[in-house]
C-alpha cells in the first residue's frame, strides 16, 4: 500500500519539475497538495508538533502564493541593470 509520505514525495518531484519548467503557480499548487499529504502522515503518527509545524509552513506558503499571484511581491527574478532614483 502506498503511504502519504510516498505520495507527498512524488508530488514534491512533480513540483520541482514544474518549477524547472517555469510554471511557478502550478508548482506551488502541487507543493501545497504535497504538504497536505505530509499533514495527514504526521497526524496518523500522532506527531502533533509535526502537524503544527507543517500547518504553519503551509500557511506562510499559501500567503506567499496569494501575494505573488496578486503581483504584490517586491522581488523580481529578472534582475534589471537599470538603476532608478
Domain ranges of the chain: 4-69
What is the pLDDT, as a whole number, of residue 79?
59
CB 61 within 8 A of CB 35: yes
85 exposed, middle or buried (CB, 10 Å; 0-12, 13-18, 19+)? Answer: exposed
- pLDDT of the chain along its 85 residues, tens only? 788 889 988 999 999 999 999 888 888 889 989 989 989 989 989 999 989 998 998 898 888 878 877 777 666 556 555 555 5
Provide the percentage of residues in the chain whose pLDDT is more than 90. 28
Amino acid at each position: 500500500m502506498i503511504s502519504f509520505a510516498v505520495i507527498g514525495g512524488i508530488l514534491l518531484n512533480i513540483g520541482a519539475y514544474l518549477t524547472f519548467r517555469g510554471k511557478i503557480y502550478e508548482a506551488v499548487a502541487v507543493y501545497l497538495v504535497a504538504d497536505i499529504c505530509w499533514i495527514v502522515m504526521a497526524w496518523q503518527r500522532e506527531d502533533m508538533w509535526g502537524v503544527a509545524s507543517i500547518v504553519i509552513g503551509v500557511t506562510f506558503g499559501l500567503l506567499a502564493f496569494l501575494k505573488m499571484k496578486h503581483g504584490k511581491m517586491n522581488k523580481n527574478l529578472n534582475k534589471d541593470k537599470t538603476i532608478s532614483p
